[in-house]
Amino acid sequence: MSTRLEHLLSEKSGLRVIPGREINLEGYPEFLDSERTPHHAFFVRNNGTLPDISADDIENWRLTIDGEVEQPLSLSLTDLRQRFPVVAVEAVLECAGNGRSRFLPPTEGLQWNMGAVACALWTGVRLADVLKAAKLRPSAVYVGFESPDCCLDDASRQALSRGVPIDKALSDETLIAFEMNGGPLPPLHGAPLRIVAPGYPGSAWQKWLRRVWVRDREHDGAKMTGLDYRLPASQLGPQESYDATQFQVITDLRVKSLITSPAEGDDWPVGESIKVRGFAWSGHIPVESVRVSADGGLSWLQADLAPTKSRFGWRRFEVELPRPEGSFVELVAQARDAAGNAQPLASAPWNPRGYLNNQAQRLKLAPPG
Ligand SMILES: Nc1nc2c(c(=O)[nH]1)N[C@H]1C(S)=C(S)[C@@H](COP(=O)(O)O)O[C@H]1N2
Ligand SMILES: [Mo]
C-alpha cells in the first residue's frame, strides 16, 4: 500500500471495511450522531481505483463541459470560483445499496449494513450556472459525468460514469462542489470536484469530476445501463423472471431513519426511561414524522422532529420512552413522508440488486446485568 493511501485510510480507521478489492468503508449508526458527519465517520464508496491526484494535477485541473452545448467550456478551479456564484447546500449523501445486507434472499453487491449514509454542508457552484454559460442546445435532455478512476482489473475502462436528467442538472440544489463541511473536499470524497445531487442516490454524486457531457439521450456511461442503479417498474418477487430493459434509473431516495443513540447492545437500567435520538431523511418528498417503539413495534410514541433547516438535509428526532416491563427492549424507529409513505416494519421491496432498503431499523438493548 502506498504511503499516501495508508495516510488517507488512517483517517478512516474506525469505519467498517466492506470486503472486496475496492476501498469501501461504512460508519456505525452511533458514529452518525452529529448534524454534519465528520470526515472520520463518513462512508466511502469506490467502484474502481482511487485516482492518484497530486497537488500539481489539482493546480492544472480542467473541467470540460461539452456535448449538446453551443459553447464548450474548459474551466480551471479558479475559473469556477470566479465566474459563478459560490453557494452551499446541506444534504444527505446515501448509497443506493445502503441496507442491502438486510434483504432476504440476499442479493449481489456490497453487503452494506446501515452506515452508507452521511450528511454534510457542500460548497461549490451550481451546475445550472455552468450549463447556462455553455449554452444548452434544445436537444439537451441528460448530463453524463466522467472521472479518471478506472476498473481495478482493466485500466482502460472507466469505473463509473453516471448522470442526471437535465431537469435535475438545472435544479438549484445540484452543485459542482469543491468543499465539504467548510474545508477542501478530501481526496477520498472526490477532490478537487464532485457532483452534489441532493435527493438522488450517491451514485449520481460523481467524484473527481473532470467532464460534464451534455447528452441528447439518457446517459449510457459505465454503470448506467443493465441493472446497475435501476429498479423494476413494478414489484418483483425473488423467484420471478424479469426483463432488464424495463428497469428504470433510480432518481429518488426513500424515506428513512437511523437511531444514533443509544447503540445496539447498550445496557439500560430497569425502570429508567430511554432517550432515543437519530436522524430522518428522504429524497424529493419531505419527511413528515417519526415514531419510535421500545417494545419491538407493539406501542409507539411520536418523536420530536427538528424543523427543516435545509430541504435535503437530515432532521434530528428525539423521544423519551418509558422502559417496557421486563428485560426485553427492542427499539424501532419509523419515519413517514409527506405523501404518506412509511418505512416498512418488515422487509422492504426486494429487487435483484438490493437497492433502496429502507426497512425500519431494530436495535436491541442488553438486558440489565
Ligand atoms: N468517480 C466516482 N464517483 C463516485 C463513485 C465512484 O466509484 N467513482 N461512487 C459513487 C457512489 S456509488 C457513491 S454512494 C458515492 C459515495 O461517495 P463518498 O465515497 O464520498 O461517500 O460516490 C459516488 N461517486
Ligand atoms: Mo453508491
**Length reported for the chain:** 369
Ligand that comes closest to the CA of residue 223 = 1
Strand partners, 332: 293, 362
The pLDDT tens digits of the residues spanning 58-85 come to 999 999 999 999 999 999 999 999 999 9
Residue of 132, 108, 207 lying closest to 162 (CA atoms): 207
Query: Could you tell me the three cell numbers for 97?
Result: 445499496
Query: Could you tell me the three cell numbers for 248?
Result: 428504470
- Could you tell me the pTM of the whole model? 0.97
Cβ(192)–Cβ(178) below 8 Å: yes
Does ligand 1 lie within 6 Å of residue 323's CB atom? no
Environment class of 319 (CB within 10 Å of its CB; exposed 0-12, middle 13-18, buried 19+): buried
Cβ(145)–Cβ(211) below 8 Å: yes
Question: Could you give the CA distance from residue 180 to residue 90 in angstroms, rounded to a whole number?
Answer: 10
Mean pLDDT of the chain: 96
Residue of 269, 315, 325 lying closest to 294 (CA atoms): 325
The pLDDT tens digits of the residues spanning 298-344 come to 999 999 999 999 999 999 999 999 987 777 899 999 999 999 999 99
CA-proximal residue: ligand 1, atom 12 (nearest):
203
pLDDT-based confidence at residue 295 (cuts at 50, 70, 90) = very high
Determine the residue of 22, 114, 207 to mutate for testing ligand 1's pocket, defined as the one with the most ligand atoms within 8 A of the Cβ atom: 207
